Amino acid sequence: MRNDRRERGFGRPGGWQQADLPDPADAPDWFAGRLPADWFTGPVDIDIDRDEIVVVGELPVPGDASTPTATREGALARFRESTRPARMQIADEAQRRYGRSVAWGVRVDGERILFTHLAVPVMTRLRQPERQVLDTLIDAGVARSRADALAWTVKLAGKHAETWLAELREAMRKVDDLRSEGPTGL
* C-beta contacts of 172-176 below 8 A and 24+ residues apart: 172/16, 176/17
pLDDT for res 13: 42
| pLDDT: which is higher, 45 or 20 | 45
Question: What is the rounded CA–CA span in Å between residue 2 and residue 62?
Answer: 68
- CB 103, CB 57: distance < 8 Å: no
| pLDDT: which is higher, 118 or 12 | 118
User: pLDDT above 90 covers what percent of the chain?
Assistant: 35
Residue 57 buriedness (CB in 10 A; 0-12 / 13-18 / 19+): buried
Element (H, E) at 79: helix 69-98
Question: Does residue 124 have a pLDDT over 50?
Answer: yes
Question: What is the rounded CA–CA span in Å between residue 68 and residue 156?
Answer: 32
- For the chain, what is the mean pLDDT? 82
Question: What is the rounded CA–CA span in Å between residue 87 and residue 4?
Answer: 44
* Backbone phi and psi for residue 147, each to the nearest 5 degrees, phi listed first: -65, -45
57 strand-pairing partners? 106
Q: pLDDT tens-digit profile of 83-102? A: 999 999 999 999 999 999 99
Cα-Cα-Cα-Cα dihedral sign, residues 174, 177, 179, 181: negative
Cα dist. 108→74, 111, 149 in Å? 12, 5, 28
Question: What is the rounded CA–CA span in Å between residue 50 and residue 32?
Answer: 21
pLDDT for res 4: 41
pLDDT for res 167: 85
Where does the pLDDT of residue 10 fall: very low under 50, low under 70, confident under 90, or very high at 90 and above? very low
Q: Taking residues 134-151, what's their average pLDDT?
A: 89
- CB 47, CB 98: distance < 8 Å: no
- CB 27, CB 48: distance < 8 Å: yes
Question: Does residue 24 have a pLDDT over 70?
Answer: yes
pLDDT for res 87: 96
pLDDT for res 119: 79
pLDDT for res 12: 39
User: pLDDT above 70 covers what percent of the chain?
Assistant: 84
- CB 79, CB 59: distance < 8 Å: yes
Question: Does residue 14 have a pLDDT over 90?
Answer: no
Q: pLDDT tens-digit profile of 49-70? A: 888 999 999 988 776 667 778 8
